[in-house]
Chain A
Amino acid sequence: MSKFLENLGSIDRRYIFLIIAIVVFLPLIFPLGLPVEPTNLTIDSFNAIDKIPKDEKVLISFDYGPSTKPEIHPMAIAILRHLFTNGNRVIIICLWPDGLFMARQALQQVAVEEFDLTYGVDYVNLGYRPGNEAVIKGITRSFPANFAVDSRAIEIKEIPLMNGVQSLKDIGFIFSLSAGYPGSVEWVQYASNPLKIKTSTGVTSIQVNEILPYVTSGLLQGIIAGMPGAAEYEQLLVNNDIHPVIGKAGKSMDAQSIAHLVIVLFIVIGNISYFAKRKKEKKY
């Protein structure tokens, strides 16, 4: 037995590579749907969005770029699916220049291909405006002053969804997809807190600690925290049969979870064989 344990200690590293390759590759094709245990932060965010009345308009702000896409984009897809299933109408703005491309991709996938909605009636993309928090402060007073035209250079007046929306006061719910500055902190400080608008946010995992105080003080309804949060939200969509299958974050989290577990197993095996060898040396 101890012979077997010792050889275990000096496995050829290529078997480790093979196992890692399999463990990461398989869940991408056949998602195992490992039991993702949604945590409270994600549940609060899910319930807040689920309870938005049908006629309320929802503002989503795309404040991230390609480098943080793996963590944040799955959240954008998930909440768009959730809102469109509930029949809510969505107004999108971007405080990051790259956010515009992220918004276009998400709308193309969900609004056009999955739900086949009509632009200008069910959803509108007002595009990117420079100025960071100055833009938020601007739309608390007036939308037309800051977004005269949408991302397709169409006058706001001609967009049916936008008439009746003079300023942020006419918006029922705000969701900020945020990878840093400007992001959810600025949305809470300049919009949701002064105007008392229900708000939730999706952030990269590094920012969670910075945003947590806003949840405990009731200014934010839950947080979707990094890729794990996105996977939990996708799981909630499946549990409430809003969407049949888990999304990209869920599949990636499957691969991450198993890979991490396998690496820890390697460490444990390595130590067991290390002790077997040391016990044998002590004998001689």
Chain B
Amino acid sequence: MRDDTALWDAPRDPAAPIDLGKAKLTRVQLTRQTLVSGPNVLQQTDLPLVDWPGAAPAGAYAAILRRDRVLLVNAPEAPDGWNDTAQQATSDVTDAYTVFDLTGDALPFLQRGAEITPDIPSRSVARLLFGLGVFLYRLDDGTTYRLHVPRAHAEALIQHFEKAASHT
């Protein structure tokens, strides 16, 4: 029985912005994140659809995850479960993903984690970054990159960016 507590850095207070030198990682507290799946969900949503590289507006929007799934950001509350009229499945996942905005000279940081370029669009914002599953897209300012990472991997993502910062 081995106590490995000291092997692992204590998780940072995610509320404090993280200075990466040429970039900055800031925690974003979203009102709500909602998974909505359905055969026609991309046509049904009346929120702006966001893909890669994308341009997410300030208010509510729908980030495309799959051909039949979106992540609604800051959308009105909706009941979890199956909506037979809309043929949609809904789950509140507000606390499942930690959300960061990466500002500054962001692309070199992202390119350390994946073969990634805004020049190659994608219909989905879901990808692997540093081997971690993330949702990644740009805000409509054209420079800020927004990342949703599963909460349990937020600390790992921060560490990856900090390691990248030591090389940029």
A and B interact physically: no
